[in-house]
Chain A
């Protein structure tokens, strides 16, 4: 079978800057941040009290109490984002051969609330037993599996766990499933809900979290700015519907974009420190896969975590592969770092950039860093620009890089 072309026909998103794709993107374009003070009971025990969290998510608005009760927050996010994506794509699953529909989902920490709740019962409260659903809610593949169950999907179902690149990798690998004929439709993306006391403390210990901006907590994540101090943890999910292009055209689906390239690599240099070569390698592979040259890119959504090291490394890698002319932005400045969901959330930002012909800014970039000298679309988004081809970078602790390239249909 010749390689098939893969298009995106639907997107669903729950994020700290909006729980639908339109709100998400208009908030980014306005430069508004979803980073805020945590209101959890444990907040006073934290060094960094900010996170990019979703204040208004009510699972019972989307599913029964018994279903919600059997799912960790990370799974609830994944199921609701999938509901949105399927509706957005106008897919009538009842009428489809669901053996040809699969789900690839990325998550970093999986059901971290459930595992932590269990440990609290055991170690703090000296309980002798745990809730029967603990394993089923905590296991990393719960989110993907519950999505498959919810929609009756019997195609390939895999969970990708490559830290911060998990969902970029999930989308890229899902596209390959369609490209090479193993599935006709894939739900792909990622979910993360790691804002628990134990997980945040573990991240604090890595000394990678941003200091709270004293004047404006929502401006604490400052990618590419000289005064950046680290990343801000976030939660949420994004799922997209990928389809074989011919079938999508045949059913008259609205097509957001074609996924034309995907590249992955491992830095194989250090468990946390990024490498210019590793990142450049993934970008080159994605460009080669797409069969385009870097000068054809109109926008790069950077990994752009806001750590000292990532931002200079990524800048050097982009310059090596793509030169200095392409606008680059880090939307993490506003939606935070959604870890296993980051790649998918940022891919949705790229889809919206293609649809709206607009580029979201890097917020809070006020002090230029001589080592970060690209066009980062500082602070003000760009409307009415020509956006035909976009690239989304995702890099990770552990070294797994995932780069996606999409083009306007």
Chain B
């Protein structure tokens, strides 16, 4: 089974040319220079990778931990 944080970190590293060690669960997306539009892009990839659907009212997130929690909850709810 895909590790949520590792997968998310890989997406962020690839898309935004960040160093993996700079990305922790506590990292604020803003501090990684990831804006709300970029977040939609990350969620789009996560949806594909994890086979989940994220609705519009669930995308208010601030940290990497928020994204991981959201994905984990939806994976559990949606059986992915």
A69 and B14 CA atoms in complex are apart in Å by 11
A131 and B41 CA atoms in complex are apart in Å by 7
A178 and B41 CA atoms in complex are apart in Å by 39
Determine whether A126 belongs to the interface, using a CB cutoff of 8 Å to chain B: no
Contact with B along A124-163 (1 / 0, CB 8 A): 0000010111001000000000000000000000000000
Q: Which residues of B contact A131 (CB under 8 A)?
A: 41, 44
11-30 of chain B: CB within 8 A of chain A: 14-17
Q: Which residues of B contact A69 (CB under 8 A)?
A: 15
Q: Which residues of A contact B17 (CB under 8 A)?
A: 64-66
Q: Which residues of A contact B41 (CB under 8 A)?
A: 131-133
- Chain A nearest CB, measured from B37 CB (Å): 7
A276 and B15 CA atoms in complex are apart in Å by 52
Determine whether B72 belongs to the interface, using a CB cutoff of 8 Å to chain A: no
Q: Which residues of B contact A136 (CB under 8 A)?
A: 37
Cβ-Cβ contact count across A and B, 8 Å cutoff: 21
Q: Which of B15, B38, B47 contacts A129 (CB 8 A)?
A: B47
B47 near A132 with CB under 8 A, answer: no
Q: Which residues of A contact B16 (CB under 8 A)?
A: 65-66
Q: Which residues of B contact A64 (CB under 8 A)?
A: 17
- Chain A nearest CB, measured from B49 CB (Å): 14
Contact with B along A48-83 (1 / 0, CB 8 A): 000000000000000011100100000000000000
- Chain A nearest CB, measured from B23 CB (Å): 14
A136 and B44 CA atoms in complex are apart in Å by 15
62-108 of chain A: CB within 8 A of chain B: 64-66, 69
Instruction: Knowing that A129-B47, A132-B41, A132-B44 touch, tell me 14 more A-B residue pairs with CB under 8 angstroms.
Output: A64-B17, A65-B14, A65-B15, A65-B16, A66-B15, A66-B16, A66-B17, A66-B38, A69-B15, A131-B41, A132-B37, A132-B40, A133-B41, A136-B37
- Residue contacts A-B, CB under 8 angstroms, 18 given: A64-B17, A65-B14, A65-B15, A65-B17, A66-B15, A66-B17, A66-B38, A69-B15, A129-B44, A129-B47, A131-B44, A132-B37, A132-B40, A132-B41, A132-B44, A133-B37, A133-B41, A136-B37
In the A-B complex, the 9 residue pairs with the smallest Cβ-Cβ separation, listed nearest first, are A132-B40, A66-B16, A132-B41, A132-B44, A65-B17, A64-B17, A66-B15, A131-B44, A66-B17
